Amino acid sequence: MAGIPQVSLSSCEKPMPVIGLGTSSYPPADIETTKTAILEAIKAGYRHFDTAFAYGSEKHLGEAIAEALRLGLIKSRDELFITTKLWCSFAQRDQIVPACKMSLENLKLDYVDLYLIHCPVRLSEMIQKTPVVKEIIHPLDVKGVWEGMEECKNLGLTKAIGVSNFSCKMLEEVLSVAKIPPAINQVEMNPVWQQKHLREFCKTKGIHITAYSPLGANNTKWGDNRIIENDVLADIAKAREKTTAQVALRWVYEQGVSLVTKSYNKERMKENLQIFDWSLTGEELDKITKLPQRKGVTLASILGPHDLVLQLDAEV
Ligand SMILES: NC(=O)C1=CN([C@@H]2O[C@H](COP(=O)(O)OP(=O)(O)OC[C@H]3O[C@@H](n4cnc5c(N)ncnc54)[C@H](OP(=O)(O)O)[C@@H]3O)[C@@H](O)[C@H]2O)C=CC1
Ligand SMILES: O=C[C@H](O)[C@@H](O)[C@@H](O)[C@H](O)C(=O)O
């Protein structure tokens, strides 16, 4: 296996491996399954893990890290790049540092490498089960929330801060108040949702993009088989003796972004790492660029089709 390339982020001294293992599983996996998968992933070479308060996988990941250290799979926690996310129910100035500390407690870590605002809305109730009723959805107080995120970084609770599911418009708002600009915007991106406009915008602002659901989140309630069963990708895969998943992941990587993809299957997680010692031809890239575009994960499909949510979806 070729080594995993790394990318440097703004305002962060630690580089990030360009591929990370996602830990949002459907249906939510139990602790043993998750721990076993993460340990297998570490053995396979993964060093970057993506979790969120909302996934309920922080504790599982924390236990897996502790076990990996006990087993000597890694010598130090510093060898890992760990991302977690501020849930919308804690998206208020004075709740952010405590929410970050709660995640660190779940993870049994002193710091995370990256802390992201999960979604550009605030929920006025502690709720993890979605969709939610419209009365509890509110616009984000961008200034207050970003100050809270900056405080997390200044306190050393996280090495870098960023956002997720933010449009160009929302990013402009963050940039207009930020002392520390967001290092990352984590968004859905794959061959059928290529995010050209957002990518161009982020490039000019020095914000790195991480692609989530690069395989279209097949077999989850928020995704489908539009990538895994895409004929164009399948034809390229056949001709190149790769899998459709590898073609999709390689395409994402070749766009200069990083990616987080989830597999708890030992063979598939290894398969997903085998994308760094070959490349797509100009003709193959061209065919993929021309694929019809359709957003898969909308905020409305998660939070419910409420006015504010639909408005935010329309901005992306
Ligand atoms: N910030 C945000 O709002 C969001 C962030 N994320 C993050 O991104 C991560 C990845 O995105 P996710 O939505 O999980 O979707 P992915 O596109 O990574 O797809 C995951 C699904 O694909 C399957 N799979 C994995 N590898 C292969 C393969 N080689 N061939 C066929 N099927 C495969 C997995 O099943 P199996 O395990 O059985 O292999 C799983 O069902 C999440 O886990 C989460 O950490 C995701 C959504 C939103
Ligand atoms: O309800 C569905 C799931 O929890 C979904 O909201 C999350 O997995 C989200 O897509 C994410 O990963 O950030």
d(CA 261, CA 259): 6
What are the tokens at 205? Answer: 């602002």
Do 158 and 111 form a contact (C-beta atoms < 8 A)? Answer: yes
> Could you report the predicted ipTM of this complex, rounded to two decimals?
0.96
**Ligand 2 atom nearest to 85, measured from its CA:** 13
For residue 128, the model assigns a pLDDT of 77
Do 108 and 66 form a contact (C-beta atoms < 8 A)? Answer: yes
- The residue whose CA has the least distance to atom 21 of ligand 1 is 217
3-state DSSP assignment of residue 258: strand
Shortest-distance ligand to the CA of residue 50: 1
Give yes or no for residue 165 CB within 6 A of ligand 1.
yes
DSSP class per residue in 59-107: HHHHHHHHHHHHHTSSS-GGG-EEEEEE-GGG-SGGGHHHHHHHHHHHH
What count of other Cβ atoms lies within 10 Å of the Cβ of residue 256? 12
- The residue whose CA has the least distance to atom 27 of ligand 1 is 268
d(CA 226, CA 215): 8
Residue 1 confidence (pLDDT) above 70 = no
Task: Give catalytic residues, as residue numbers.
Answer: 55
Residue 127 confidence (pLDDT) above 90 = no
Give yes or no for residue 50 CB within 6 A of ligand 1.
yes
- The residue whose CA has the least distance to atom 25 of ligand 1 is 263
Residue 86 confidence (pLDDT) above 90 = yes
For residue 3, the model assigns a pLDDT of 87
For residue 2, the model assigns a pLDDT of 53
Give yes or no for residue 87 CB within 6 A of ligand 1.
no
Q: Is the pTM of this model over 0.95?
A: yes
| Type of residue at 59 | K
Residue whose tokens read 């969709």: 131
179 backbone φψ class: left, alpha, beta (φ>0; ψ -120 to 50): alpha
For residue 125, the model assigns a pLDDT of 93
Give me the mean pLDDT over the 22-28 stretch: 96
